Chains A and B, each alone.
Chain A
Amino acid sequence: MNFRNIFRYWRTMLTVAEVTLRHQLNDSFILFAILVQPLIIAVLALFMLKDTAANAAMFVVVGSGLTGLWSSLLFISGNSINAERWQGTLESLVGVPTPFDVIVFGKNLANVVQSLLSMIVAYLLAALFFGYSLHMDQPLLFFLSLFLSVFAFISFGLVIAPIFVMYREVQQWQNAMEYPVYILAGFLFPVLLLPGWTTPISYILPPYWAAVALHGTSTASAPLEQTLFAWAMMVLLSIIFLFIASRLFKIMLYKARVDATLDVQ
């Protein structure tokens, strides 16, 4: 994706995001992915981790929220192009003068932002039902981390969506991709528990760096240098994934036009 397009088409992106949010408001699957599943994981993790550390509740709130972000990215953003195809609107979207990746960026923005609800609901659950006194140690750094995390997740989603369109055999593995990222990104436990050979895989996943930054700033468990490094990695990976996404979108649209498969279900 061309970076200038983010600034040139910001109003379009916001409009697409608003329409997407309105469209998805009464979709029960989305409700499940962004609210129910993270909430159940939060309850489970609160019961499991309650005796591990003083700030375990905040760790669970952030971690379960991240599971909601990833599940939403995988299942909703991953299908964002296919969803238009199923509704018969893909041809029109590709035909308008606005670059298609800008439109998908807006859709992903809506998906990721609405997924943040999972963190808010987990926070309320821990505070109201479990009676935890939740304290955020570095609120400013946390919200900056959250902003960069949203951007990193959107960029990652821009790579996943065209891959799912072009390679249906990859999409068939969608159900199996959810937990590996929960594990490799260290959403609810440190990746140090995993075998050493998995660490490089964690390092190339934006959700891992989002977890490092968000856990570190919400519980003050990480030095500032570590948070800054996580931010730098999220920016770097976002740039790389946006570049890869721009190539993938070109290939996907070219292929779809040549094969005349834009409206093929």
Chain B
Amino acid sequence: MKTLTSNLRLFWQGTVLSYVALFAWLQPVTYMASKIVMPLTQMLFFTFLGSFATGRDNAHFYVIGNAIQITAVSGIFGVTMSIGGERWSGTLVYLFGTPANRMAMFFGRAFMHIIDGTIGVVIALLWGVILFKLDLSQTNLSALALTIFVTTLSTCGLGLLMGCLSLLTANVMFVNNTVYFLLLIFSGANVNLATLPSWMQAISQVLPLTRGIASARALIAGASMQEVLPLLAQELGIGLIYGLVGYFMFQWVEVSAKRRGTLETI
């Protein structure tokens, strides 16, 4: 019982402190620019581009896709900053020097970004309602909320894996940006997946977001919770796999860095 309490405390403290101290965008103006205005303008750009390509009637396809994809801003960039930031700020050596439970420490780094990312998607959908008259009257809102939460969770799973890469390479922002932009294609946010070549569809199926976006589109079109539950279960499973791979990589990085003496390498 004492170990559990101690790990929960560690989880919570790590969660709050890593978010406050290592999330580089956590200043009012920078947060507004990077987490609210940038995603909005990205959504506008792809919605106008999609409307130009397929007609204004299809605008909602792009609004929903890009609104859900916005969770990747928190999931990829935010989580990576919270893990990789330990290295840049020179605290990794202390972190790995403690006997603290690694699982609580590792997954705690993503917790605030799950909340943050969920709020980001809700804001984006509200922009869709205001600017593009996105109709949510047929939508099961609690199912949509669950979809947003599960999708954010699974994207943060990928973010945890990317965060571990930031402990290995100095070029992590290059990798992160590339993954973020590739998700714009492969997640189906902007392209109907059926129109992609089969090898691209195969990649889409092993990525987070793909099923979350499909589920959100189905729910807004009037589908029930039961209809989207299989998609959500798969989305959650994919996110957990990425998170676990990230966790094992985190452990490997710790052993490897200690052995090579590269804990403080920047």
> Chain A residues in contact with chain B, CB under 8 A?
28-29, 31-32, 36-37, 40-41, 43-45, 47-49, 51-52, 169, 172-176, 178-180, 182-183, 188-190, 193-194
CB-CB < 8 A to B50: which residues of A? 48
Whether B38 lies near A190 (C-beta < 8 A) is no
Whether B38 lies near A40 (C-beta < 8 A) is no
A60, chain B: closest CB distance, angstroms: 10
- Size range of the chain B interface in the assembly: 20 to 34
Whether A176 lies near B174 (C-beta < 8 A) is no
If A45-B49, A169-B29, A175-B33 are given as contacts, then 11 extra A-B residue pairs at C-beta distance below 8 Å, sorted by A number, are A28-B171, A28-B173, A32-B177, A44-B184, A48-B53, A48-B54, A173-B29, A175-B34, A176-B33, A179-B42, A189-B49
A36, chain B: closest CB distance, angstroms: 5
CB-CB < 8 A to B48: which residues of A? 183, 189, 193-194
Segment touching A, from B13-21, B78-86, B190-198, B213-221? B190-198
22 contacts between A and B (CB under 8 A): A28-B174, A29-B173, A29-B174, A32-B177, A40-B181, A43-B185, A44-B191, A45-B49, A49-B53, A52-B52, A173-B33, A175-B38, A176-B33, A176-B37, A176-B38, A178-B41, A179-B41, A179-B44, A183-B41, A183-B44, A189-B51, A193-B52
> Chain B residues in contact with chain A, CB under 8 A?
27, 29-30, 32-34, 37-38, 41-42, 44-45, 48-54, 171, 173-174, 177-178, 181-182, 184-185, 190-191, 195-196
CB-CB < 8 A to A49: which residues of B? 49, 52-53
Whether B182 lies near A40 (C-beta < 8 A) is yes
CB-CB < 8 A to A169: which residues of B? 29
CB-CB < 8 A to A47: which residues of B? 185, 191, 195-196
Which of B27, B50, B53, B195 has the most C-beta atoms of chain A within 10 angstroms of its own C-beta?
A: B53
